A and B are shown apart, each in its own frame.
Chain A
Amino acid sequence: MTQFFQQIINGLSLGSIYALIALGYTMVYGILKLINFAHGEVFMVGAYTGFYAAGALGVAGFEARNQGFPLYLALLVLIIAMAAAALLGMTIEFLAYRPVRSAPRLTPLITAIGVSLFLQNAGMLLFSPNPQRYPAILSEVRFEVFGVIVTNIKLTIFAVALCLMLGLHLFVQKTWTGRAMRALSFNIDAAKLMGIDTNRVIRSTFAIGSGLAAAGGILFGLDQITINPLMGVLTGLKAFVAAVLGGIGSIPGAVVGGLLIGLAEQLTAGYLSPEYRDAITFLILILILLLKPEGLLGIVRVEKV
């Protein structure tokens, strides 16, 4: 039984990270109807920015002295990583997606795949293909609760993910830009006619989504111990499936989807076989698209001819 709960806790923490990444996918798809394949790589760059920022702020010194990395520096690392990722996201949007925005659907899809491949391989060149140990931005503390082991890192993941998602929800509901985002996801042409600067709103969408992904990247590194330049490939794809599962275009959907995919993956790995942990995600994708294509929390869109 304890094994079951252990798998559940592990699944939920992994799922929270998927949820953070899925939010970026779902927001971009909601507006542009584009799968931003490069989002997984933004996640990777966020993790690496955190890695280098922590290094620059002297985390190695703290580790050697067995002291905890001060909280204010940890927050600084998070902010730097989120800002860098936001910048990267906006640059990708400007250079690669904006020129093909009006092209038939296939063109931006292929461009997105191209950007993703480019970032993966550039990452291999810049960051070295060796996996790197993630610095202890948060020192690890273990608790045992009824035989289930929980670390403070997992609790942090839940807390940070929850805060960011609440923050995003408030942003989308209460602020002007958030409302504009919702408007664009309904009908981009009408929004343009209403005088909304669509370019600015799209830029903000990319920036916010990328920032969230970067936060996910740092949390991932802390939890998974190592990072490598190809970490965004499979994780990004699973987060996309999570977004679809929850209902693409729906923010609460991305959260629900992320948690479900995380749980499914861990339970499959634990009880079936770890070899199928990736396959189960794709299977879920196929099933949901066949049975309920608008996702669990999504709205059915009627296609007008």
Chain B
Amino acid sequence: MRALIRIAITGAVLLAILALQLAVQAAFTEYVQRIVLLAGINVILAVGLNLINGTTGQFSIGHAGFMAVGAYGAAFVGVKLATPVHAALGPGVLADALIFNLALLAGALFAGVSGLIVGMPSLRLRGDYLAVVTLGFGEIIRILFNNATFLGSATGYFGDDPSGLPAYTNFFWVFAWAVAIIAVTHNLTFSQTGRSLTAIREDEIAAEAMATPTTRLKVTAFAISAATAGIAGGLFAHMQAGVRPEDFRFEKSIDMIVMIIVGGLGSISGAILGGIFVAVSLELMRDLQQYRLVLYALLLIVIMIVRPEGVLGTRELHHLFRRKKPAPPSPPSATPTEGA
């Protein structure tokens, strides 16, 4: 019975997204549609990064590297799969959907594995050191792609077609994956495992003393967040003509950090808001072109000084809708009865 309800909800959500896609495509210009897609991809990035930076408290500032692995992986696999799948299923929406999702999963797998490779040695370190090491790994990944001739090195990977990579990414896929990732992350965060992760954030040594397998959990969370960055990368790759190493510089990692900081480190809804905020604000700030990056940096500093917990802190949006529990009945008066 529960399974049926679950399937029904999933179906309903997917239909809602499809309906929303038609509405968005009818109402908005291509320019705005693209921004909406980028916002959706940002949401995936932010929610994924929040799992390791926010919930588990392990600060990684090199996640652009995993996005790159996912992007290149998905692009490469997608191009290679196109011919056999089209031969088997013919051209059309079904074949494209199959290729795309397989490519995304491949990208996520590659990214997850690189997350494991990076995480295992790095997560022995704490705080600032972990941050710098992840930064280093992010840069190393980018340098490796820059030197990979079979992937186009600095020019980038554009697939085999002169017009670039096939444009599989659209509203439906971005938001379907976004909802899926949000659901999974939410369930993970509010489960027993999630509580262990939060425990690691709050006091790692105490958690260790309480027999929490901290290293295993940290590395797993890191790998999962790398995989989600990989999905985002794959989605990103298929709305561009190609992927280049320059698109995954340190600045991209900083963008991701800003997303989760603004919304609130440790809050999934905060990450969602932050992701949307970054995509939208960069466009709105366009009129201040020259000063855009300066203001962006100032924003970061000011937030840290004035309200470091961001908009939501570690709370979730739906906590605001929780009905207040009625106050428990006051205990029988402990004071001796007054004289009549």
Query: Which A residues have a C-beta under 8 Å from some C-beta of B?
Result: 29, 33-35, 96, 99-100, 103, 105-111, 113-118, 120-122, 125, 237, 240-241, 244, 275-276, 278-279, 281-283, 285-286, 289-290, 293, 303, 305
In the bound assembly, the distance between CA atoms of A105 and B132 in angstroms comes to 14
- Asked whether, in the complex, the Cβ of A114 is within 8 Å of the Cβ of B300, the reply is yes
> What are 11 A-B pairs at a CB distance below 8 A?
A29-B128, A33-B128, A34-B128, A111-B300, A114-B297, A117-B296, A117-B300, A237-B132, A279-B139, A283-B136, A290-B121
User: How far, in Å, is A10 (CB) from chain B's closest CB?
Assistant: 21
* CB nearest neighbor in A for B292: A121
- Asked whether, in the complex, the Cβ of A282 is within 8 Å of the Cβ of B131, the reply is no
How many chain B residues sit at the interface, stated as a range, is: 35 or more
Residues of A with C-beta under 8 A to B147: 275
In the bound assembly, the distance between CA atoms of A110 and B305 in angstroms comes to 10
Which of A105, A117, A278 contacts B293 (CB under 8 A)?
A: A117
* Cβ of B20 under 8 Å from chain A: no
* Cβ of B59 under 8 Å from chain A: yes
Total number of A-B contacts with CB less than 8 angstroms?
A: 106
- Asked whether, in the complex, the Cβ of B254 is within 8 Å of the Cβ of A111, the reply is no
- Interface readout for B144-171 with A: 1 if CB under 8 Å, 0 if not? 1011000000000000000000000000
**Contacts A111-B301, A113-B254, A114-B297; A285 near B140 (Cβ below 8 A):** no
- Asked whether, in the complex, the Cβ of A118 is within 8 Å of the Cβ of B294, the reply is yes
Interface of A is mostly: helix
* CB nearest neighbor in A for B139: A282
Residues of A with C-beta under 8 A to B294: 118, 121-122, 125
In the bound assembly, the distance between CA atoms of A244 and B205 in angstroms comes to 24
- Asked whether, in the complex, the Cβ of A35 is within 8 Å of the Cβ of B132, the reply is yes
* CB nearest neighbor in A for B293: A121
In the bound assembly, the distance between CA atoms of A244 and B122 in angstroms comes to 15
User: With A118-B301, A278-B143 given, can you name 19 additional A-B contacts, CB distance below 8 Å?
Assistant: A34-B128, A99-B305, A100-B308, A106-B265, A109-B131, A110-B300, A113-B61, A114-B297, A114-B300, A114-B304, A117-B300, A122-B294, A125-B290, A240-B132, A275-B147, A279-B139, A285-B133, A285-B136, A286-B136
Question: Which of A34, A96, A122, A279 has the largest number of chain B CB atoms within 10 A?
Answer: A279
* Cβ of B129 under 8 Å from chain A: yes
* Cβ of B38 under 8 Å from chain A: no
- Asked whether, in the complex, the Cβ of A289 is within 8 Å of the Cβ of B297, the reply is no
In the bound assembly, the distance between CA atoms of A129 and B163 in angstroms comes to 33
- Asked whether, in the complex, the Cβ of B133 is within 8 Å of the Cβ of A276, the reply is no
- Asked whether, in the complex, the Cβ of B261 is within 8 Å of the Cβ of A118, the reply is no
Which of B127, B129, B133, B257 contacts A110 (CB under 8 A)?
A: B257
Residues of B with C-beta under 8 A to A99: 305
Residues of A with C-beta under 8 A to B9: none
Query: Which B residues have a C-beta under 8 Å from some C-beta of A?
Result: 59, 61, 121-122, 124-125, 127-129, 131-133, 135-137, 139-140, 143-144, 146-147, 205, 254, 257, 261, 265, 290-291, 293-294, 296-301, 304-305, 308
User: How far, in Å, is A232 (CB) from chain B's closest CB?
Assistant: 13
In the bound assembly, the distance between CA atoms of A197 and B111 in angstroms comes to 49
User: How far, in Å, is B328 (CB) from chain A's closest CB?
Assistant: 33
- Asked whether, in the complex, the Cβ of B125 is within 8 Å of the Cβ of A293, the reply is yes
- Asked whether, in the complex, the Cβ of B143 is within 8 Å of the Cβ of A279, the reply is yes
Residues of A with C-beta under 8 A to B305: 96, 99-100, 111
User: How far, in Å, is A290 (CB) from chain B's closest CB?
Assistant: 5
**Contacts A117-B296, A275-B143; A110 near B136 (Cβ below 8 A):** no
Residues of A with C-beta under 8 A to B61: 113
In the bound assembly, the distance between CA atoms of A303 and B45 in angstroms comes to 34
- Asked whether, in the complex, the Cβ of B301 is within 8 Å of the Cβ of A114, the reply is yes
**Contacts A110-B257, A125-B294, A286-B137; A100 near B128 (Cβ below 8 A):** no
- Asked whether, in the complex, the Cβ of B137 is within 8 Å of the Cβ of A103, the reply is no
- Asked whether, in the complex, the Cβ of B298 is within 8 Å of the Cβ of A285, the reply is no
- Asked whether, in the complex, the Cβ of A289 is within 8 Å of the Cβ of B143, the reply is no
* CB nearest neighbor in B for A33: B128
User: How far, in Å, is B292 (CB) from chain A's closest CB?
Assistant: 8
- Asked whether, in the complex, the Cβ of A106 is within 8 Å of the Cβ of B59, the reply is yes
Residues of A with C-beta under 8 A to B290: 125
- Asked whether, in the complex, the Cβ of A110 is within 8 Å of the Cβ of B261, the reply is yes
* CB nearest neighbor in B for A110: B304
User: How far, in Å, is B209 (CB) from chain A's closest CB?
Assistant: 9
- Asked whether, in the complex, the Cβ of B139 is within 8 Å of the Cβ of A113, the reply is no
In the bound assembly, the distance between CA atoms of A110 and B133 in angstroms comes to 15
A-B pairs with lowest CB-CB distance, top 7: A282-B136, A114-B300, A118-B297, A117-B297, A114-B301, A121-B293, A111-B304
Residues of B with C-beta under 8 A to A120: 297
User: How far, in Å, is B55 (CB) from chain A's closest CB?
Assistant: 13
Which of A100, A110, A276 contacts B143 (CB under 8 A)?
A: A276
* CB nearest neighbor in A for B299: A114
* CB nearest neighbor in A for B251: A117
In the bound assembly, the distance between CA atoms of A105 and B127 in angstroms comes to 7
Residues of B with C-beta under 8 A to A281: 136
- Asked whether, in the complex, the Cβ of A289 is within 8 Å of the Cβ of B129, the reply is yes
Residues of A with C-beta under 8 A to B129: 244, 289, 293
In the bound assembly, the distance between CA atoms of A282 and B265 in angstroms comes to 27
In the bound assembly, the distance between CA atoms of A202 and B143 in angstroms comes to 37
In the bound assembly, the distance between CA atoms of A120 and B201 in angstroms comes to 32
